[in-house]
Chains A and B, each alone.
Chain A
């Protein structure tokens, strides 16, 4: 289940307030994807790619932190040196690979960290605080609640395919993909339907003001990070 993107499954309060988390995903994406490789922007990007690293270390996910650091060092070496030493097709390949890693890895990892440390109810509550309507938050939270379900269904169907020895059959690849996808879709649709019924009978989506037992609120760490993110945004826009 580790590889599946979903909300936090257990444990205590989120490391960061969901609002800070979402702001940081936006800022990191903006700087990492849109920023240049020299001058002030170089330092801003360096700062932004360190945020997910620090996050991973604070939640004790050292293995992932090490892989993350390794990938960034790798892309830094390529962007800093290898590109100057090569030319032609190889050069193009290196530029593409290093570019994808250095521009997209940080926002993706930050998104992963946020999901892994936030529960559904913390997310819904924080969204309510900034007056995002339920029409947006409920589908969003259901969507992420659903990824592990899809993965469970997919596992069951691929097992059935193995049992029926489909891979040995003279069927086209497209046909085999269809065999896998259709049952997965059918059963996720059914689960979604049953989930809506269960949620409705538990009073979701009513006019009554929801309360919440989770603690959501900005703490010093949130203010500090927000301040940094603000500075980064200002510098990024100015330069």
Chain B
């Protein structure tokens, strides 16, 4: 039976360009796609290729929420989605979004689980018993009755899936649900998807990361500039080699593809972290590192599961944790962590938090030391912009740029600040293969400039293509550290 039928659909978003003029931006063009009841469809392709647009066509956000020009029709169970209000479509279609922080309406978890089913007018007793059943099946019991704001990204995403499961939607649309998740949380997500597949739900998932969908996909649809470039059958998809995915510009399908690492080149210079201690009020999380020596002028990947202390270590190292203790030995200097801000620059996971000014140029200038003469400051800023190939955006507002461009602006500010250490928090989360390679290229370039990079990451492909050294944290201590080619097993 046919569940979803997309017939010759063209959609363009009505957006404003950087100078404020209304323009049309193509979402998809001339799209035809038929999805059968119970199929598991993976939509993939680089950013802006149209896969998110397909999700929005199915859940009714197009044309009911997003403004634009549309032709063709999308049929759900034979009914035109644009002709019925979103809440009608929501009786059948459940949606999970990319950002775990912005998709919960309630402040407590139990109400959030019930929310979707409540809106559909289900009987309260039924909802209560469904919540019990679902939380047993999805291992949510320990999350019930808690504050949404105190959950990790992975836990929030689990609740978001739980909400859909309680409402028992027969079609489930997921738009890059794994972007902000670590390996453990992705494994949880995979289990939920497997459960849905087994229950015969129709699943449509847009993703960059593919390895966890290997055994689940019935069909993989590769998009390019709003059109279907290639359709891959599930069987064929499972057997795609690392080279084949690279060729298609895709993330790897194999879970342990990372075999080729960079060769370790011995270095003369090291820095040493001594007595790094910080504990959170819950007394469970924090870091406790007595001594740790790391190489200078290398790309150091910091890995470990959520809550292992990666961010805490990075933020302590930068001197952002006011109460943290420790010292860093740099050559013949010993610097207390509270003074490390003078040596460090951090590129945050959400770069929107660290861009303040009205133009890219000003943003970079803000980082340059004010003790230098004005002409020299401008020269430094210009160099930094050129280095990251963003001088053409110098006059633009940072917020008008794309995510990747913003990240480059933040990195350029870091270069202009002339700090020895550059820390990056998940620089490639939610990036496709091509953009991931670009970020890796920028990291290599920073290394050539003499910087030391500390990179928090869950991205195995990024590690295999540029990291020199790996630091594996567990429960706040160092479980392993060393050159990346003798990589610790099972990270």
B127 at interface by CB-CB < 8 Å: yes
Chain B residues lying within 8 Å of A9, measured Cβ to Cβ, are: 107-108, 146-150
CB-CB contacts of A1-35 with B at 8 A, as 1s and 0s? 10000111111100000000000000000000000
Stretch from B59-67, B223-231, B466-474 at the A interface: B59-67
State in angstroms the CA–CA spacing of A183 and B409 once bound together: 15
User: What residues on B are CB-neighbors of A197 within 8 Å?
Assistant: 61, 65, 97
CB distance from B14 to the nearest CB of A (A): 15
- List A contacts of B25 (CB < 8 A): none
CA separation between A187 and B348, bound complex, in Å? 14
Structural contact, B65 and A7, CB atoms closer than 8 A = no
Q: Which residue of A lies closest to B370 (CB)?
A: A170
> A163 interface residue, CB < 8 Å from B?
yes
Pairwise interchain contact B105-A198, C-beta atoms closer than 8 A: yes
List of A residues within 8 angstroms of B91 by Cβ: 203
Q: Which residues of A contact B117 (CB under 8 A)?
A: 211
Mark A196-217 against chain B: 1 for CB-CB distance below 8 A, else 0: 1111111111111111111000
- B97 near A198: Cβ-Cβ < 8 Å: yes
Q: Point out the residues of chain B lying under 8 angstroms from A200, CB to CB.
A: 60-61, 64-65, 86-87, 90
The answer to whether A202 and B121 touch across the interface, beta carbons within 8 angstroms, is no
Question: Could you say which residues of chain A place their CB within 8 Å of the CB of B127?
Answer: 211, 213
Instruction: Indicate if A41 sits at the interface (CB-CB under 8 A).
Output: no
Selected contact of A162 from candidates B90, B320, B413, B417, CB within 8 Å = B320
Tell me if A163 and B59 are in contact (CB < 8 A).
Answer: no
- Are A212's CB and B107's CB within 8 A? no
Q: Is the CB of B355 closer than 8 A to any CB of chain A?
A: yes
Contact string against A for B residues 396-421, beta-carbon threshold 8 Å, 1 for contact and 0 otherwise: 00010000000000000100010000
A123 CB to nearest B CB, Å = 10
**B105 near A195: Cβ-Cβ < 8 Å:** yes
Tell me whether B443 is interfacial, beta carbon within 8 Å. no
B345 within 8 A of A: yes
Q: Are A163 and B318 in contact (CB under 8 A)?
A: yes
B303-347 to A contact mask, C-beta < 8 Å, 1/0: 000000000000000101000000000000000000001101110
Instruction: Report yes or no: A201 in contact with B357, Cβ–Cβ below 8 A.
Output: no
- Please encode chain A, from 143 to 169, with 1 for each CB lying within 8 Å of some chain B CB and 0 for all others: 001001100110011011111111001
Is the CB–CB distance between A206 and B85 below 8 Å?
yes
Contacts A10-B108, A145-B105, A191-B102 given; does A162 touch B123 at CB 8 Å: no
Determine whether the beta carbon of A211 is less than 8 Å from that of B101: no
Residues of A within 8 A of B220 (CB): none
Q: Which of A1, A148, A183, A202 contacts B353 (CB 8 A)?
A: A183
**Nearest Cβ distance between residue A19 and chain B, in whole angstroms?**
18
Question: Is the interface on chain B under 10, 10 to 19, 20 to 34, or 35 or more residues?
Answer: 35 or more
**Interface set, chain B 138-152, CB cutoff 8 A to A:** 145-150
- Roughly how many angstroms separate A82 CA and B104 CA in the complex, as a whole number? 51
Tell me if A203 and B116 are in contact (CB < 8 A). yes
Min CB distance, A125 to chain B, in Å?
9
User: If A163-B341, A198-B97, A203-B120 touch, does A120 touch B354 (CB 8 Å cutoff)?
Assistant: no
Residue pair B104, A187 in contact (C-beta under 8 Å): no
Q: Are A212 and B145 in contact (CB under 8 A)?
A: no
- Check A202 against B350 for contact (C-beta < 8 Å): no
Contacting pair B95 A194 (CB below 8 A): no
B30-85 contacts to A, CB under 8 A, are: 59-61, 64-65, 85
- Contact of A211 with B118 in the complex, beta carbons under 8 Å: yes
Smallest beta-carbon distance B104→chain A, Å: 7
Chain A residues near B357 (CB-CB < 8 A): 179
C-alpha gap A213/B167 in the complex (Å): 13
Q: Does B449 contact A (CB under 8 A)?
A: no
Q: How far is the CA of A180 from the CA of B355 in the complex (A)?
A: 9
| Contact among B102, B109, B110, B399 with A198 in the assembled complex (CB-CB below 8 Å) | B102
Task: Tell me whether chain A's interface is mostly helix, strand or loop, or mixed.
Answer: helix
Those of B234-256 within 8 Å (CB) of chain A:
none
User: What 1/0 mask marks residues of chain A from 85 to 124 whose CB sits below 8 Å from any chain B CB?
Assistant: 0000000000000000000000000000000000111000
| B97 close to A211 (CB less than 8 A) | no
CB neighbours (8 Å) of B103 from chain A are 194-195, 198
Return A58 CB to nearest CB of chain B, in Å.
Answer: 20
**B350: A residues at CB distance < 8 A:** 156, 187
The yes or no answer to A59 lying at the interface (CB within 8 A) is no
Distance between A142 CB and nearest chain B CB, rounded to angstroms: 8
A191 touches B105 (CB 8 A): no
Residue of B nearest to A214 (CB): B111
Cβ contact within 8 Å between B354 and A162 = no
From A156, A161, A212, give the contact of B356 (CB < 8 A).
A161
Instruction: Let me know if B128 and A201 touch, CB within 8 A.
Output: no
Whether B149 and A213, one on each chain, are in contact in the complex, defined by CB atoms closer than 8 angstroms, is: no
Contacts A191-B101, A194-B97, A200-B64 known; A206 to B119 CB distance under 8 Å?
yes
Question: Is residue A186 contacting chain B, with contact meaning CB distance below 8 A?
Answer: yes
Q: How far is the CA of A207 from the CA of B87 in the complex (A)?
A: 8
Tell me if B105 and A199 are in contact (CB < 8 A): yes
Instruction: Look across to chain A and name the residue whose beta carbon is closest to the beta carbon of B55.
Output: A201
B163 within 8 A of A: yes
- Interface check B137, CB cutoff 8 A: no
A3 nearest CB across to chain B (Å):
13
Q: How far is the CA of A165 from the CA of B367 in the complex (A)?
A: 8
Check if B360 is an interface residue, CB within 8 A of chain A: no
B93 CB-CB contact with A under 8 Å: yes
Q: Would B119 and A203 count as touching, CB distance under 8 A?
A: yes
CB–CB B119/A204 < 8 A = yes
- In the complex, what distance in Å separates the CA atom of A160 from the CA atom of B345? 10
B interface residue numbers (CB < 8 A to A): 59-61, 64-65, 85-91, 93-95, 97, 99, 101-111, 114-124, 127-128, 131, 145-150, 163, 167, 318, 320, 341-342, 344-346, 348, 350, 352-357, 366-367, 370, 399, 413, 417
- 3 closest A-B pairs (Cβ-Cβ)? A206-B87, A9-B147, A179-B356
List, sorted by A's number, 25 A–B pairs whose CB atoms are closer than 8 Å.
A1-B147, A6-B107, A7-B106, A7-B107, A9-B150, A119-B111, A120-B105, A121-B114, A148-B107, A159-B320, A163-B320, A163-B341, A164-B417, A180-B356, A182-B356, A187-B352, A190-B352, A194-B97, A198-B97, A198-B105, A199-B105, A200-B61, A200-B86, A202-B90, A203-B91
Extra contacts, 13 of them, besides A119-B106, A162-B320, A204-B119 (Cβ < 8 A), are A145-B107, A156-B348, A156-B350, A164-B345, A164-B356, A178-B356, A202-B105, A204-B87, A206-B119, A207-B87, A212-B114, A213-B110, A213-B111
